[in-house]
Structure 1
Amino acid sequence: MTALAGAGRCDPSLIEAARGGDTEALVSLIAIAQPDIRRYAARNCRAADIDDAVPETLLLLYRRLGTLRAVTSFSAWLFAVARRACLRLLRRSAGMADAPADDVEMRLAHLAPDDIRIDLSRAIQSLPDHYREVILLRDIEELPIDEIVGVLGLTRESVKARIHRARLMIREYLIRD
């Protein structure tokens, strides 16, 4: 949760005041959280979605802060809101809630192998660096998860999550293209 470290360092009394309807406290809270949300979106959203994910998250912060149960869970709550915004934008750009695997197969079935390679290469190049790195190690170099953990110095869970997200982004790219 280090992506929202600034939001986690917010004064609990500021969060409580904003929850209670204090407009100045809410404006201050939004100003403090905005850079952290942008940093999170830059690492976890497609590049085209960053400028949409940040205001969408801030709008939800503005509208739903009163539903926050505990002031101490603010950064985790904001992290979840930002994550959902990134996923929602990814799905929206694909034009559907969830694209079945058949759609990718149907889209690629009529293409020549060279065209598939070009599309796949472009999809991989469109990934943020940290996702591209893990997908190249796993799917191109065919390294096992444990070796990728050693190469990147990440936890096993982080590697698996990045692989999953990268594959979703590649799938989305291939469907919309």
Structure 2
Amino acid sequence: MTDELLVVRCQLGERAAFTELVAAWHVPVWSYVRRMLDADRADDVTQEIWLAVIRGLPRLKDPGRFTPWLFTIARRAVTNRLREQYGEAETPAPQEPIAEDSITALVDHAELVAGLSGLPALEREILVLFYLEDLSLEDCADICAVPVGTVKSRLNRARRLLREHLIEKGFQR
């Protein structure tokens, strides 16, 4: 069933349709939030997002634009949480336990995550939306409320910064 049809069913008051919509989109939304925030806050922010979706779904005029609308809500929630974070004193986040894997893969993954988390928020956000959430340039532009050209330039800068970080750490192309 398409997202558009699920949205229409939700707007008509079908609770089962909302359950299906959440089941289809919870993991992508949580993944986006997790990549932008630490794990402790990702669950809370994801819950806030779904509450905003419940409240806003009746006012969504174009059900075919559900995905950009959903990620716009997610972006706002992440931005609000980041604002709160910057207002507080910085405390180091606890490290999550790492599942056993080959040492090389762990190091590569750790460096990639470190490089990604070291990017400025705007560039990190574009990389996450475009590459990890697999959204189009147009959808990224809608979500971030910027022109497509700005998305392209942020992607270019983000790739360059990430490449520089990885090269600095000894990774070759």
Q: When the two structures are superposed, what TM-score results if normalisation uses the length of structure 2?
A: 0.53
C-alpha deviation, 1:133, in angstroms: 5.2
Match of 1:101 in 2: none
For 1:26 and 1:34, how far apart are their aligned partners in 2? 11
Match of 1:129 in 2: 114
For 1:59 and 1:130, how far apart are their aligned partners in 2? 32
Q: Could you tell me which of 58, 65, 71 is aligned with 1:79?
A: 71
Match of 1:12 in 2: 4
Is residue 2:59 matched to residue 1:67? yes
Ranges in structure 2 where 5+ consecutive residues have no aligned partner: 96-112, 121-150, 161-173
C-alpha deviation, 1:92, in angstroms: 2.1
Contact 1:44 1:86 in 2 (8 A): yes
For 2:158 and 2:60, how far apart are their aligned partners in 1? 27
Whichever residue aligns with residue 54 of structure 1, its letter is: T
Q: Could you tell me which of 149, 154, 157 is aligned with 1:157?
A: 154
Q: Could you tell me which of 32, 37, 49 is aligned with 1:40?
A: 32
Contact 2:49 2:73 in 1 (8 A): yes
For 1:133 and 1:94, how far apart are their aligned partners in 2? 15
Q: When the two structures are superposed, what TM-score results if normalisation uses the length of structure 1?
A: 0.52
For 1:18 and 1:64, how far apart are their aligned partners in 2? 11
Ranges in structure 1 where 5+ consecutive residues have no aligned partner: 1-8, 97-106, 108-118, 136-153, 164-177
Paired residue total: 112
Q: Matched residues, percent identical?
A: 28
For 2:51 and 2:159, how far apart are their aligned partners in 1? 27
